Amino acid sequence: MTETVFITGATSGIGAATARLLAEKGYRLVLTGRRAERLERLKEELENSFSTPVCTLTFDIRQQEEADKAIASLPEAFRTVDILINNAGLAAGLSPLQEGSLTDWEEMIDTNLKGLLYVTRRIAPIMAERKKGHIVNISSIAGKETYPMGNVYCATKHAVQSLTKAMRLDMVKYGIRVSSVAPGAVKTEFSTVRF
């Protein structure tokens, strides 16, 4: 039976690369992001290149109601999520803390932490009921170390590392594996925008 993988932030960078690799391996994919055109282009590419079933959901993970509504709308064939990859994330601003932008801080906290929680809160019960699943949180090397003027971004990624450990403790009794991946700098749209 083909497993279903749910990937947040699949419109570019690590999310899109992960989708391509998993499509090549034959997984059924649910790809999410805010940019509908990019999602549809990626869906078409993957279905044509690998004949893999792909469902796209366009929503902003910072908005709990949007996330809930989108996930609730999944077609029957994609509802049993086997693997959740919490990839969506962003970094905004490069200022010392005392000059930081509250708007940037809220955007990072809402995306990197609250968005991850909103999606996980909807998908994890499906896994717990089946006593099977794997959640992969994409953190960052910034979740293990800090760098100058990366203050709030680093804090959100440290929180992702901590959440991963806590989720693992909470979910082990349900047979759900929880992992994190902490990439360093990667030549992606994220890094171009960031630096």
Q: Could you confirm whether 27 is annotated as catalytic?
A: no
Buried b or exposed e, range 113-126, using 16+ CB within 10 angstroms: bbbbebbbebbbeb
Which residue type does 70 have? A
Q: What is the DSSP letter of 58?
A: E
Whose structure tokens read 């959901």? 57
CA distance 68 to 141: 30
Is the CB of residue 102 less than 8 Å from the CB of residue 147? no
Three-state secondary structure call for residue 104: helix
CA distance 184 to 115: 21
Taking residue 74's Cβ as centre, other Cβ atoms within 10 Å add up to 18
Residues known to be catalytic: 153
